[in-house]
Chains A and B, each alone.
Chain A
Amino acid sequence: MADQADPNPPGDNRPALALHVPEPRSRPGDPVNFADVEVSQAGAQPRPDEGCAPGDMKDLAYDLVRVLGDDDKAHGPWDPKLDPDTLRTMLGHMAMVRAFDERMFRGQRQGKTSFYMKCTGEEATSVASSMALASDDMVFPSYRQQGILIARGYPLIEMINQIYSNKGDKLKGRQLPIMYSSREHSFFSISGNLATQTPQAVGWAMASAIKGDSRIAATWVGEGSTAEGDFHSACTFATVYNAPVILNVINNQWAISSFSGFAGSERTTFAARALGYGLAGLRVDGNDALACYAAQQWAANRARANQGPTLIEYFTYRAEGHSTSDDPSGYRSAQEREEWPLGDPVMRLKNHLIAIGEWDEDRQAAMDKACAEEVRATTKEAEKNGILGHGLHHPFHTMFEDVFEELPWHLKEQAAQATKERKIKWPDQHPMDGAGK
């Protein structure tokens, strides 16, 4: 029994309390209205000096830094003034991410692997922002930053091998698809647990500072996951040690079925989280590749000059489901994607290049075709190493390796047991020749 059986006992003239439970703009079948999303004018936001005190730039935590205007031109002080070759490279990476996502999603549907996650609509937040970092700056991504790997030149075949858990997978089939790791590309191993990477990025940055290194760290986390305590830990340590780190919050509006209101967006912005901690806070149009680049560059310059950490909110939209295990038609209006007021990041960058006379539709079509063809050919190549479910691609003893640096007695015994079981199950076959399922 609750303490107060009668919520309004006689004579109590205090008002009855009521619990607020957030509710999104629209549910399946509802009309969509994004009128409450304030889209600021491109170029209208001031760009403070990179050493600016967080309190002196607090408006930028509530505004929206935008560079690309409705005229597809670049505007204002945040224009990073990239040369056309760099812009074309950026567009190429984003197109490749999209082509890759399409193919891998289809591969999962065809039963070639267990799981996949697209980043459609969010390509700029990983591609453009990571291009503003040095290639040896350390990144601690979440699970939707395949764009960083592609921008850093990680071979597609390595990604596909990992997604298929096949014998070419350098992570030995241990991790869920898309949980990549590449130390060579300064890309930290993806966990699968949420926001755990955020204090780790701060720790890496602290280490770099302890050692007098010049490399900084950056982390990416979804807006939903900022609710985790780890994110609070990251902000606190970042500010206490003035760590050379960038905390990128990808506000794509949805955490599986929970809209951003369940992480606090009804009351304030995610960038404004920075202010309470004394971090610099920027809120950026996440579908504007130039703004994404410019904000990350600003924060990187600040960190590199020992002037402090930055929290950047990228305001964007998760155009697809959370993953292949999710069907968003069960909880949000399908119209949202079409009505999203910040457009499509790939189209906006393409239109910008066309507007400045450095690109055209024919070249775009040829590039899209080339991306699709490269992904197709690489997928075929990767499939020679096998797909999930066709063959046990890794010898059973690999399951026991790397639990510790050295194998203790009990794991040696268990490895022997596993091998024995394999011989009982498939007496005539080698584990890598397609015997298992």
Chain B
Amino acid sequence: MSADVKTTTEETPAVTGRRINMIEAINEALDVMLARDPDVVVMGEDVGYFGGVFRCTAGLQEKHGKTRVFDTPINECGIIGVAVGMGAYGLRPVPEIQFADYIYPGLDQLISEAARLRYRSATEFIAPMTVRSPFGGGIFGGQTHSQSPEAMFTHVSGLKTVIPATPYDAKGLLISCIEDNDPTIFFEPKRIYNGPFTGFYDKPVEPWKKHPDSEVPEGYYKIPLGKARHVQSGEALTVLTYGTMVHVAEAVCREKGIDADILDLRTLVPLDIEAIEASVEKTGRCLIVHEATRTSGFGAELSALVTERCFYHLEAPVERVTGFDTPYPHSLEWAYFPGPVRIGEAIDKILKD
């Protein structure tokens, strides 16, 4: 049975100087795992012959065969439901949901089944699936191609939620998710598939190859789940963020000359609480930035944790910068997006006293 599967030890990857974008990094992670583990299968709408609408699975069917990488019917409930069944057999499915906005028909299978299987069967059955899905806005996708629903999944006990912000992390985290024996949601910030978008939408986005974190080793390596990434060290305030907003927050701090301590959380559940505590205890000020809507967003959880655990270190109230509590609008996309102005204002407020 698969419940007692090995934990692969971390291997130090060879640095090659090779730079790739996030799509290529995700493709490589899948390629590496398909080659390494005969139990890995990749499936989803348009992922087979065509290679995915964002090209993340390009070439994989040709290389690994039609029964390892295949298209599915348009039925998210079915995609996640069969992944539960495949996991019960002992496979390690990596289903793709084409846009996070389309994941909702699969929620019953994900929440009531995948997330609860280990617990209700006392480990007789597990659901070692990794659900990949592009999420987030900034591409004029309107309300059905832009949402950031990560908080809903963090609210479900039994699911892990992982969000990369760089090609290097995307590959290493995806490999960790695939090897993880728990069901994992891997949200890919599609706005930064091709380059680290900084929120200054009227300026061209630099391609990933100009960013050091696009240097990705070939072959297998893992980034452990539950460990945040220290984007930059600073003393003035802590910034807790993930996904696209890592680059936006970083750019704003750079532009304003703020000596921020920025943490890219990478995994929302399980959360790297030690890194958060250490940073907030050092700076005494905390800004939380996410693109998702505000009310009951993951920022609320972060704010509660920081307040509960670091209260006596705080010198200012915790601030949240988020998307507004509206559906993602089409034409007013940049008025909605929590961009540099909103972040800048919050930083000024935190640093005021």
Q: Please list the residues of chain A having a beta carbon within 8 angstroms of any beta carbon in chain B.
A: 1-3, 19, 21-23, 27, 114-115, 165-166, 169, 173-177, 179, 191-195, 224-225, 227-230, 255-258, 262-264, 325-326, 330-331, 388, 392-394, 396, 398-400, 403, 410-411, 414, 417-418, 420-422, 424-425, 436-437
Does B90 contact A191, Cβ atoms closer than 8 Å? Answer: no
CB contact under 8 A between A403 and B326, given known A228-B75, A262-B72, A424-B341: yes
Ranked nearest first, the 3 interchain pairs of A and B with the lowest CB-CB distance are A173-B331, A176-B142, A192-B144
Kindly specify which of B21-29, B45-53, B206-214, B300-308 makes contact with the partner chain.
Answer: B45-53
Say yes or no: is B102 at the interface (Cβ < 8 Å to chain A): yes
Measured between beta carbons, the chain A residues less than 8 angstroms from B331 are 165-166, 169, 173-174, 388, 392-394
Closest to A28 in B: B49
**A196–B269 alpha-carbon span in the complex (Å):** 31
Q: Is the CB of B91 within 8 A of A227?
A: no
Q: When the two chains form their complex, are residues B201 and A1 in contact, meaning their CB atoms are under 8 A apart?
A: no
B72 engages A394 (CB within 8 Å) = no
Asked if A422 contacts B329 (CB within 8 A), the reply is no
Convert B67-80 into 0s and 1s, putting 1 for each residue whose CB lies closer than 8 angstroms to a CB of A: 10011111111100
Cβ of B334 and Cβ of A176 under 8 Å apart? no
Pick the contact of B67: A19, A191, A410 (CB < 8 A). A19
Chain B contacts of A414 at CB under 8 A?
294, 324-326
Of the candidates B67, B326, B336, the one having the most CB atoms from chain A within 10 angstroms of its own CB is B326
Complex contacts, B334 vs chain A, CB 8 Å:
392, 436-437
Alpha-carbon distance A71/B75, docked complex (angstroms): 42
The chain A residue with its CB closest to the CB of B91 is A2
7 examples of A-B residue contacts, CB within 8 angstroms: A22-B71, A166-B331, A174-B143, A228-B77, A392-B335, A394-B331, A399-B335
Q: Is the CB of B326 within 8 A of A411?
A: yes
Within 8 A of A (CB), among B116-146: 140-145
Rounded to whole angstroms, the CA-CA distance of A420 and B341 in the bound complex is 10
Q: Is B155 an interface residue (CB 8 A)?
A: no
Interface residue? B317 (CB, 8 A): no
Q: How far is the CA of A424 from the CA of B327 in the complex (A)?
A: 24
* CB of B295 within 8 Å of the partner chain: yes
- Neighbouring B residues of A256 by C-beta, 8 Å: 45-46, 50, 53
| Complex alpha-carbon distance, A69 and B50, angstroms | 37
Asked if residues B332 and A396 are in contact (CB atoms below 8 Å), the reply is yes
A363 to B146, CA, bound (A): 46
**A114-B140, A229-B75, A255-B74 given as contacts; is B325 within 8 A of A403 (CB)?**
yes
Q: Chain A residues with Cβ under 8 A from B70's Cβ?
A: 21
What residues make up the interface of B, taking CB atoms closer than 8 Å to A? 1-2, 5, 38-39, 45-46, 48-50, 53, 66-67, 70-78, 89-91, 101-102, 104-105, 140-145, 201-202, 294-295, 324-327, 329-332, 334-336, 341-342, 345
Q: Which residues of A contact B46 (CB under 8 A)?
A: 256-258
Q: Are A399 and B336 interface neighbours, CB within 8 A?
A: yes
> Are B89 and A3 interface neighbours, CB within 8 A?
yes
Tell me the bound Cα distance from A21 to B72 in angstroms: 9
B144 CB, min distance to chain A CBs, angstroms: 3
Q: Which residues of A contact B78 (CB under 8 A)?
A: 227, 229
Q: Which residue of chain A lies nearest to B46 when distances are taken between CB atoms in the complex?
A: A257
Q: How far is the CB of B328 from chain A (nearest CB, A)?
A: 9
Given contacts A229-B75, A400-B324, contact A331 B49 (CB under 8 A): yes
Name B332's contact: one of A115, A176, A394, A424 (CB within 8 Å).
A394
Residue on A nearest B336 in the bound complex, by CB: A399
Q: How far is the CA of A2 from the CA of B39 in the complex (A)?
A: 7
**Nearest CB to that of B139 among chain A residues?**
A114
CB contacts (< 8 Å) of B49 on chain A: these are 27, 257, 331
A256 to B99, CA, bound (A): 14
